[in-house]
Structure 1
Amino acid sequence: MALLKLDIADVRNIESASLSPGDGLNLLFGANGSGKTSLLEAIYLVSRGKSFRSPQAARVIRFGQPCLTVSGRIGQPGAGVVVGIRLGRSEKEIRVGGRSCDSSAQLIRLFPAVLIQPASVALLEGPPRWRRQMLDWGVFHVEQDYLDLLRRFSRALDQRNAVLRGDVSCSSLEAWSGELARWGTMIAEMRLAYVERIRTQVEEMVSALLGRTDAELVVRPGWRTGWSYADALAASLAADRRQGYTECGPHKGDFTVLVGGRPAKDYLSRGQLKLLTYALLLAQAGRLEADQPGRVCLLVDDIASELDGRNQERLLSLVKSIGIQSFITFSADAQRAAAAAGPASRVFHVEQGRIRADA
């Protein structure tokens, strides 16, 4: 479902603003510090119920104000549902269709957004949990019960760890190990199936951005390859008892991107790693758009400062080819770079927290 309208109040330097985006490319121009990224942050709040720039609400709320509010109408022209976020320094309220919502999961399913920004390269350079989060976000949109499955696994993991730390019966440990093996195996299988699902899109995007056809995603379930999770838990029991926690499992899962049979992060330049990261995220967005047309939104921040002209054109061409609603920021003097995107459905200028639509 596309974002039809967005209303923002007290998000960083944006005191009050509204915009009605198009369902294709939306180009956002402005000087550094004008509020372009804050606008993307507001859209992200509608999708995830949180900021991508800071976990601390006080840093997102406009200085001197007690809270921020963002609301968006999600759907098709002439219809849609209103999503509202009210974020204070110690509280958060989410409303969907006028009703309070306890979890951001409903937002994520209703209005999935994929973010591409300079810091996205941390997906490949950072800790495994970021790569697990990418996989889990993708599986969540494919498997309706996946969130419940993650919760069941988390509960079983907590209980097994509690048994390992305490003096309780072996039968309790055996029972929770069985639960953990059951849910953990299902999670690992779904993650692997999702990677297979996006493999074609990844290959296409990597080829378009890096000119390579030898990229491969390799998933590690979080335990020894070729073993069942139940066997891995049994083999690690003595070590788990000494440590007081469960060492192996999908909570330790990860994936690696190989290029030419070698780990990409050890082989590619930093610039190439950025392009590879963008390719993965575009593949994820493209796969979801293919599965559920008209629902996913793409947010692209400040690529002109990170990529040379040729790579900017490649990335913008790919974004356009996917055919999804996109919001792309540019510096105020980047009209030439933005021309590579071709005709846009909407153009906006951002200046000192004010947003003006191009006539």
Structure 2
Amino acid sequence: MLKNLSGARLLTRVGGLVRHERLLLAFKASVAASIAWLLALQIPGVASEYPYYAPLGAVACMYPTIAGSARQGIQTLAGLAIGLMLAFPVIFLAGRSIISVSLVVGLGVLVAGLPRLGAGRDWIPIAALFVLLLGGDDPDGYSYGYMVQMLVGVSVGLGVNMLIFPPLHLSGVVKGLDSLRSALALQLRDMAAAVREEWPPRHEDWAGRQNQLTQFSREVRTAVHLADSSRHGNIRQRRHKRDLGVDFHSLHSMERITFYVEDMTELLASAIWHSPDNTPMPQSLGLPLAEATALAADAVEAWDAESELLQEAEAAVERLMTAVNSSGSDDRIGATASLGMGLRRILLTVRGDAARKNPTLPDSETTDQ
């Protein structure tokens, strides 16, 4: 995704975490399926004839978070119940035939379109079809056994997910936010380097990163939402407390900065390659622009409202804007002025988010622009 951003190393840590969590989920799913199978063999009555549905239920409800596992398990059981009830009128009216197969599948898919069914929607036509084709002369007994064994499997899967290393996914939040902040800072540094070089610059990979930055920010938002979901019902949350509200606000601020950086990237690329006549930049403003952009990159990476880096960056941006204003109303300064305003918005966003974490700062320094 960000292979051009000094590489994929910004995503390596996050990718390693994802692989680790996938291995843990696979381990828990295999344990849950095995336990469900052993328990299914002990269930008396007609349900004992269908033990293979218990491991299926355990796997069906397995999800990276406990809340997601419970939701998926409930939705699966609800979908099964709807599918089972749907099959009986069809069996009564048409028996087991080509018409009944077509009818039960069509009705199942149609009912699956109802809202709020979630993962259960896929089980409706499957359960209805199984009752029709596998229920034989005892669809009641088959339905009962099917439902009981699936309930056993879902219960086991949820229990295993709750008791065996229930993940909190907090590490993904920390690493994701750090990586996104580093990616934004790197983009600004590369833009500053491009301004300093003789035009056209020798490297231009930074000019095509807009979509990559946006996609990266979406992945980080997914990681924050996953961490928030993983806290619900998790016995480990008491020992590993983290204010995800602060993380959501920081992510929102970084997403805004991503928008500003993308806009600046497009504008600078146009000034260099695409439409230099429409977006010219005076050479006299190149040095202060490069300096302000490089210092803004350091401030974004530091993300500290009280750091000297932020103050230096703000001072450099003000020097740039002063130089722009002293250049008169020439149309040639329009692109530089827009880039300067973009830097100013970036620094205001950094200060506003960082100051929110430190309420002792004056209110005038917490303004979000």
- Give TM class, smaller chain: under 0.3
Q: Which structure has greater helix proportion? A: 2
Structure number with greater Rg is 2
RCO higher in structure (CA 8 A, sep ≥6): 1
Which is strand-richer, 1 or 2? Answer: 1
TM-score between both structures, scaled by the size of structure 2: 0.21
**TM-score w.r.t. length of structure 1:** 0.22
